[in-house]
Copies of this chain bind each other. A is one copy, B any other.
Amino acid sequence: MPPPKTSRSSIGARRNPETEQAILDAAEAILQEGGDRALTMDAVARRAASSKATLYKWWPTRARLLLAVYARRKAQLDLADTGSLKGDLTAFYVNLFAFWRGSISGDLFRFVMAEAQFDPDILPVLRSYLDDRRRDTEVIFNRAQARGELRPSLIPATAAEIVVAVARDHLLTGRTRFEGEIDAIIAELTDGFSAPRSSLA
């Protein structure tokens, strides 16, 4: 089937932001209406009135397109500054789990992670994306360091890596309800990352 006459197309080698947003909108709408199975590259191109050549040039696989839709939603989530390490870690998990439970965000990320187990093409892109998110999360430890809350030997990048790994594991094992177990983990991480309190205090 030839693309429709009104086809949006790329303006040269650089992405056209309007077309890019139209494609991500189309993919998101298809996911919301029909779930993961409805999301085919054909369906997205048709709905976005985009050429399949453009779609495949920017997102060579379905997994990459899923990750782009997820990343656009995730970009709206900020890290709360609560004034303490424990407060910031609690806000991080509460907000992230609520984001994942709300609408299609959690399913989207679960599908990306699932596809990454079968499609090695997505792994470098996914790793690079997750590294960026880990760097975002380091701000929690940079703030805590500035407040003098941290163990001197703590490395913010490593602590952030542990925090995001636990979050992802909870999503992929169906545990994003905010229950006693994550509370215990937050307490454990806070104690582990904090400077020991003087026994004379």
A residues lining the B interface (CB < 8 Å): 36, 110-111, 113-118, 120, 123, 126-127, 130, 151, 153-155, 157-159, 161-162, 164-166, 168-170, 172-175, 181, 184-185, 187-189, 191-193, 196
Contact = CB atoms under 8 A, between A and B. Distances in A.
Nearest to A110: B117
The DSSP consensus for interface residues of chain A is helix
Shortest beta-carbon contacts, A-B, top 8: A192-B192, A196-B196, A165-B169, A114-B117, A114-B114, A110-B117, A158-B188, A158-B184
16 contacts: A111-B117, A113-B172, A116-B173, A127-B173, A130-B173, A153-B191, A154-B191, A155-B188, A158-B187, A161-B185, A165-B170, A168-B169, A189-B192, A192-B192, A192-B193, A196-B196
